[in-house]
Amino acid sequence: MKKLANKVALVSGGSRGIGAAIVRRLAADGAKVAFTYSRSAEKADAIVAEINAAGGSAIAISADSSIAADIINSVNKTVAEFGGLDILVNNAGIYIGKDFPEHTIEEYDQVMDVNVKAVFVAALEAVKHLKAGGRIITIGSNMAENAIGPQTTLYTMSKSALQGFTRGLARDLGPKGIAVTLVQPGPTNTDMNPDNTEQADYARSRMALAEYGTAEDVAGLVSFLAGDEGRQITGSWVTIDGGFNA
């Protein structure tokens, strides 16, 4: 039997990049998977068709992670479709990089709404359904512990907030048998962060392994944390960055 058989997962921002890899991996490991998307409807439909054709179960839900009502609706749709919820993966995120004086309050709201508030709202709704053995896994960034250069203040602040959230929520949900973890990827080859640019060359020069990670690397770690092997890991984070922060 596959290790996540009879489990139900919800992944935010699952139509491309790391999110899509997580959706595919959880489905391959036996979970029924719902995931949200905001703009990539065709990609979302293609992933659903791919998983269902392979004998899995998946649905795509249109949702804007900056809107609390959309997040709440995505949890409720998942439960209505699959009969419960066991694994919440908060993956959706945005980056706005500017010199600090050029930022606006509106940009602060944009980044914090998606990168922090959405995680809080999703967890708040999910705990109504999660039982003992449940998981809340959030995708953060190695930049929570390493502001790699200028124009990163707003993003770094938002990702650092997830560390405090993970610690506190683990304490709150520990008595219920629910584990809460944070995954902090570093340079990862996706369409938004390709490994063949000058910026990528610089990133590799700072990495111990000097090699970009893949979305599948991150998905494998999420699968581990979601399974029985990860049951004793809570209130902490795992940085998967090829040694960038070493």
- 125-183 pLDDT tens trace: 999 999 999 999 999 999 999 999 999 999 999 999 999 999 999 999 999 999 999 99
Instruction: Quote the mean pLDDT of the chain.
Output: 97
pTM of the model: 0.97
211 pLDDT band, cuts 50/70/90, is very high
Beta bridge partners of 193: 190
CA distance 49 to 46: 5
Domains, the chain, in order of start with CATH, read 8-240 (3.40.50.720)
How far apart, in Å, are the Cα atoms of 45 and each of 11, 16, 20, 36, 56? 15, 11, 12, 11, 14
Share of the chain above pLDDT 70, in %: 100
Can you give the length of the chain in residues?
A: 246
**Nearest by Cα to 126 from 168, 186, 84:** 84
Looking at 108, 155, 202, 212, which residue is catalytic? 155
Among candidate residues 211, 188, 194, 104, the one with its CA nearest the CA of residue 141: 188
155 in active site: yes
Q: How confident is the model at residue 16 (pLDDT cuts 50, 70, 90)?
A: very high
- Residue 47 pLDDT level (bands cut at 50, 70, 90): very high
| pLDDT category of residue 40 using cuts at 50, 70 and 90 | confident
Query: What is the mean pLDDT of the segment spanning 42-51?
Result: 98
Q: What integer pLDDT is reported at residue 153 of this predicted model?
A: 97
Q: What value does the mean pLDDT take over residues 209-237?
A: 98
User: Mean pLDDT, to the nearest integer, of 213-239?
Assistant: 98
